[in-house]
Amino acid sequence: MKRGLIFFYIVSATIVLSVSGCTDRYRVIDENTEIANHNWTYLNKVKFSFKIDDEKAGYNLYMNLRVTGDYKYSNLFVLISQIGPDKKMATRRYEMKLANKDGEWLGKGSGNLYSYQVPFLINHKFAAKGTYTFFIEQNMRDNPLREVSDVGLRVEKKIH
């Protein structure tokens, strides 16, 4: 009985690990950071670091975002800064559209939360191999910006 149970757990673990490893093999990073009390301040720059091993490949970069249904704007402006292995920083401002003009949310809803994954760089080529760090900061007039639950970054190798 014990051998059968052990064999069952080993086979189950192997299947789970092999399936989960294959489903997102192009992912470099896909992380989210919770915003304390749903109040995103100017000082709270969310940081993500990852390693690029193939500088010749194209990469798609997405900003992940979750807001509550009480978020009062139809968009969100952010500053996204990138620091590469050369230690130089480049910053660019992006606008994320979150709702239609009639107020209908564009994200995927679950309860009172709406999730977004918005591309901001498509087929991006990194200059060199090495570690890259991205900072995402809110760039709206409100400080703190209320009803922001999570902010994240997804980087994936472009599928040919």
- List the pLDDT tens digit at each of the 160 positions of the chain: 555 545 444 544 445 444 444 568 899 999 999 999 999 999 999 999 999 999 999 999 999 999 999 999 999 999 999 999 999 999 999 999 999 999 899 999 988 999 999 999 999 999 999 999 999 999 999 999 999 999 999 999 998 6
The reported pLDDT for the residue numbered 159 is: 81
Distance of alpha carbon 72 from alpha carbon 82, whole angstroms: 29
Domain residue limits at 89:
27-157
| One-letter amino acid for residue 142 of the chain | D
The answer as to whether 104 is a domain residue is: yes
The reported pLDDT for the residue numbered 18 is: 46
The answer as to whether 76 is a domain residue is: yes
Provide the CA 156 distance to its chain's centre, in angstroms: 10
The answer as to whether 5 is a domain residue is: no
Q: What is the DSSP string of 35-56?
A: PGGGEE-TT--EEEEEEES-TT
The answer as to whether 4 is a domain residue is: no
The answer as to whether 17 is a domain residue is: no
When divided into structural domains, the chain yields a total of 1
The answer as to whether 101 is a domain residue is: yes
Please count the CA atoms within 13 angstroms of the CA of 83 that sit on its side-chain side: 8
Distance of alpha carbon 66 from alpha carbon 107, whole angstroms: 9
